[in-house]
Amino acid sequence: MSATPDRKPRLGAADIRARKGHEPVVCLTAYTTPVAKLVDRHCDLVLVGDSVGMVLHGLPSTLGVTMEMMILHGQAVARGASQACITVDMPFGSYERGREQAFENAARLMAETGCQAVKLEGGRHMADTVAFLVQRGIPVMGHVGLTPQSVNTLGGYKVQGRGHHEADRVTRDAIALADAGAFAVVLEKLPETLGQRITQEIAVPTIGIGAGVDCDGQVLVVDDMLGLFTDFHPKFVKRYAELGETADAAIAAYAADVRARRFPGPEHSFGAGTPA
């Protein structure tokens, strides 16, 4: 089907990979159809992140996210995003056991959501799995640095790659994923100089989240950058709006109107002969 004049062709993993060294890749998360429609107009890549467990489901970490949750939200995003490359996170426990387990679950994610790619966390120890998936037609985005699914072994949500030894470790992880065929690699919570170094050393785009301005693209959790959480403000997030405060004020005004019987007013009510 040919593209309509006002709609761009769907971007795929190969298009994102080809952006290396060119115009920065714009990426935001989305978990629902309405938000997917909003971000699709402006983003090259929409990430259905396992952060959905914390953002929408109130989980303390991403570890409790299931395949069923990722499929449900992936389907919702696919209904709203028609131009951006949709990439869905593989949840904790869905790919670590081996290549065959990873392929089965990645294939299920792609078949049931219609996404263009999957993302998984981990460095050199995941390179063989990444190669196995790519060779079988599943585009993979890598993720190194702070990997939230490993928060218990990392000792919390700390900056990674500080010091010569740790910087070399993260760099080798990113190189291994790129060499294995990942079309892009997320760099999370790294010193800015390390983000720059890895971006220069690998042949695929780096997508930074708290890894400095020199990455080939940037990603943020959409709820964070919109300021929907008034009590959560990571250093690497720029607030482009304060929707949490706006929503709180609107809800307070609604509650006051209901209690004072100002709502509904005549303009919101139906008379006996008023059409619906």
Q: What residues are designated binding site for 3-methyl-2-oxobutanoate?
A: 50-51, 89, 119
Residue 118 Cα distances to 13, 71, 94, 199, 243, angstroms:
10, 11, 12, 21, 30
What tokens were used for 141? 């985005």
Q: Residues with catalytic annotation?
A: 188
Q: Where are the alpha helices (DSSP H) in the chain?
A: 13-17, 33-40, 52-55, 67-80, 99-113, 127-135, 151-154, 164-180, 192-201, 222-225, 243-259
Known binding residues for Mg(2+): 50, 89, 121
Q: How far apart are CA 58 and CA 145, in angstroms?
A: 24
Cite the annotated binding site by residue number.
Answer: 50-51, 89, 119, 121
Record the tokens describing residue 177, joined without a space. 């994923």
Beta-bridged to residue 118, according to DSSP, are 88, 140
CA dist., res. 223 & res. 42, Å (int): 16
